[in-house]
Amino acid sequence: MENKEWLFDKSQQELEKFCVLNGFKKYNAHQVMRWVYFYQIFDFAKMTDISKSLRGGLINNFHANLPEILDTTYEEDITGYSKKYLIRLADDKTIESVLINYNSRKTLCVSSQIGCKMGCTFCETAELGGGRNLSSGEILSQILLINMDTKEKITNVVFMGMGEPLDNIIEVEKSLNIMSDNNFLAIAPRKITVSTCGLLDKLKDIEKFKYKIAISLNASDDITRSGLMPVNKKFPLKDIVNLINHKKPSIHNKITLEYVLIKGINDNILNAKELIKMFSPSKVKFNLIPLNKEKNSIFLKNFERPDDNAINDFKVKLLKAGFTVTTRFSKAQSINGGCGQLTAKTICFR
């Protein structure tokens, strides 16, 4: 197996090249990928509509072994359940994914890196530092593994697990192409959210980006934001405002501004007023995330969750200004799978 390539790391174009170079038809690549991603059959011998010689060629050159689920943690209430997966990759590194299965929507929060070098001060993943990028196959196999584990199809994907997806844009785009293709994983682009801490240089082609975008904002002024998110020193708030305000408005695809509410840091009603001045309800919606804090967290010892009245006042202020506002009381919190709590011991705070 050492010399065999991992099939899940291949794009359709790469597999087409293999087929053509080895005397097979270009469309055979599409057939193989349909078996793998649509039917989720990973045994080449069972791919009955392709020739015996191609099956042999695949067996000799590729393997389609999925990573291993090492551990799971489960939490449920009357509306659904969350399940966190600890997954071991081929190099023995571990990542986490969280399935959030509520109200018949099966959302998988996927990781895109091992650790993260963005250094957000409220995020437990940042504690791990920069590790390495995940390959497209390592991203896609999180979906495949959890589809198999639950025997149900993932309906929505959010890149809010470990890592900053735009810091690994090549592999993330490669995985997006396969997961959104109707012939393969068939998850509609409008059901896929790419969440970024604000790497704006990777969003230059924002008008062409067909997936949902969430930007982790978390402050209404540069001093506070730079204190929470070092990325703000390179891409300050005015750049985020410019990018968003120059984007064509889209009712169906507004940018989500994620805002982690932290007591005494960014939860003042004046912060809400500043946000109202900066952004337009026609371009963005807000997702307020009251801080998730693991019990006894030493890492987050300087941060507190605001009380319910402060959360509600902040929300009402934005609502009255015409914004769509959701408040995410993070599912999976008690299993340390809420935003900002994936550290492979155990997700990105977005």
Amino acid at 120: C
Would you say 237 and 225 are in contact if contact means Cβ atoms under 8 Å apart?
Answer: yes
- Active-site residue (options: 19, 109, 120, 339): 339
CA distances from 200 to 1, 73, 101 (A): 40, 35, 31
Task: Give the nearest distance from C-beta 3 to ligand SF4 in angstroms.
Answer: 35
Distance CA 215, CA 226 (A): 15
CA distance 47 to 35: 7
Q: Is 348 a catalytic residue?
A: no
Phi, psi of 13 (to 5 degrees): -65, -40
- Residue that the structure tokens 């957000």 belong to: 120
Determine the residue type at 159.
F
Which residue has 């149900």 as its token pair? Answer: 152
Marked catalytic residue, from 16, 19, 96, 197: 96
Three-state SS letters, 137-153: HHHHHHHHHHHHHHCCC
Which residues bind to ligand SF4, rule: CB under 6 A? 116, 118-120, 123, 125-126, 163-164, 197, 348-350
Q: Compute the least distance from the CB of residue 119 to ligand SF4, in Å.
A: 6
Tokens of 255: 């940018």
The verdict on whether 207 is a catalytic residue reads no
Measured distance between the N- and C-terminal CA atoms of the chain, rounded to whole angstroms: 38
**Which residues are the active-site residues?**
96, 339
